[in-house]
Amino acid sequence: MRMGEAQLKAFFAFKSGGIAALEHVYDVGYSADALTGLGAADDYAETLCQLASKFFAPTTHSRYQQRARDAARRNSHCVETLDMIVCTGRAIADPTDRWDYTEQLCATRGDTATLTKRAATLRKKFLAPRVPKDGATIRRSTAHDKISVTFTASSNAMQDVITTLETRDEHGATIDAIDWLVNNRSLSQAPAAVHLIVTDDQIDHILAGTDDQPDTEPVVVTNTGIRMTTSQVLDRHILPDGYITLASGHLGPINTHRMRLASPVQRLALEADSPTCCWPDCNTPISGCQAHHLTEYIQGGETTPANMCWLCPHHNAVNGQPGRGRMTRIDGRIAWVGPNNSPPKFTGRSYTPHRAPVGGPAQGRPPD
């Protein structure tokens, strides 16, 4: 049977009225078999019944449900879009979060492809990051006759492998990784240049001698980003010039004389703030970071630990650029402030739960 103009208009009206169709299915009480009898495919009939129950059956989250229905009706979402929203939200365990996710997507304008991209971003807000499982993952490409092997383990377990692969010969070239894996596999242990950060409220714990208890043993971070317990540190080759920084309250590192570049001692003091790049969600270890001036040197900013933080080369370049936000120090703690002075996101180590703020050009709050 050929479709005429009237049937085509009816089809378009149905496509833009997904919620209206589901409401009719629920009000009439159609079963999947009844819808199949009306001409619906088996799987489509099941989908209509499930969605009708989702958006119209009684629920403990009736206000979320009502707002989601209203938003979906307002944005003319089709059945396929609503099905995508419900299916992608099933992995969210908490019912309130799941309805919040549903409501936000129903309130988003666009077609199914647009909302699918939005859903992928929004799900990260509600789903805890997946912790990679230790082991080896093997992928084969028959088209190119290639095999890829990915190893996953703790930074302490893998650091010697990384050190070996980054070792350069007398000509400055790194080793052949495949040749090493197949024929050699001897490791060059990464020496630990330990810089232990001890806060004043940890002194009693250390003096109490409880370091032999696994659940309370302190963890140190080396300048290459390795996290180790004190017992693991003792199992490694320690460089002769290790350091300990005592961080008391919010005072931060001791100021030194004015200079353009951070001295080695100042760079060590900065390790008290963070073992990685201070930009949110950046895990570049400080061995690959630069000492960034919070208040620019040309604007009178001092080259002191209190006016500096670690930033990787990329984030050092974009810091303060339009739309990217900037780093600052608030109450002695490193923080990232968004482009429109949004609430700060603290990224540096907190030395104390609550203290009065310290003055100084690099420690003030963001301007209004």
In the prediction, which pLDDT does 254 show?
Answer: 34
In the prediction, which pLDDT does 54 show?
Answer: 95
pLDDT tens sequence across 267-294: 777 777 788 899 998 988 888 888 888 8
314 inside domain: yes
Taking the C-alpha atoms of residue 256 and residue 264, their distance in angstroms, rounded to an integer, is 12
**Which structural domain range is residue 219 located in?**
195-247
In the prediction, which pLDDT does 223 show?
Answer: 56
Q: Are residues 13 and 120 in the same domain?
A: yes
CA dihedral 364, 365, 367, 368 (to 10 degrees): -150
pLDDT tens sequence across 210-221: 444 545 555 655
Taking the C-alpha atoms of residue 296 and residue 290, their distance in angstroms, rounded to an integer, is 14
- Amino acid at site 315: H
Q: Given a cut of 80, is residue 258 above it in pLDDT?
A: no
237 inside domain: yes
Instruction: pLDDT band for 343, please (50, 70, 90 cuts).
Output: confident
Q: Are residues 270 and 304 in the same domain?
A: yes
Q: Are residues 319 and 220 in the same domain?
A: no
363 inside domain: no
Q: Are residues 295 and 233 in the same domain?
A: no
Number of domains the chain is built from: 4
CA angle 59, 70, 95 (to 5 degrees): 30
C-alpha neighbours within 13 Å on the C-beta side of residue 361: 15
CA distances from 220 to 194, 205, 273, 351 (A): 8, 15, 13, 15
Residue 282: burial class (beta carbons within 10 Å; 0-12, 13-18, 19+): middle
Among 87-91, 217-221, 245-249, 336-340, the range scoring the smallest mean pLDDT is 245-249
365 inside domain: no
Q: Are residues 39 and 100 in the same domain?
A: yes
140 inside domain: no
Q: Are residues 162 and 204 in the same domain?
A: no
What is the pairing mode between strands 146-152 and 345-346? unpaired
In the prediction, which pLDDT does 182 show?
Answer: 77
Q: Which is higher by pLDDT, 61 or 194?
A: 61
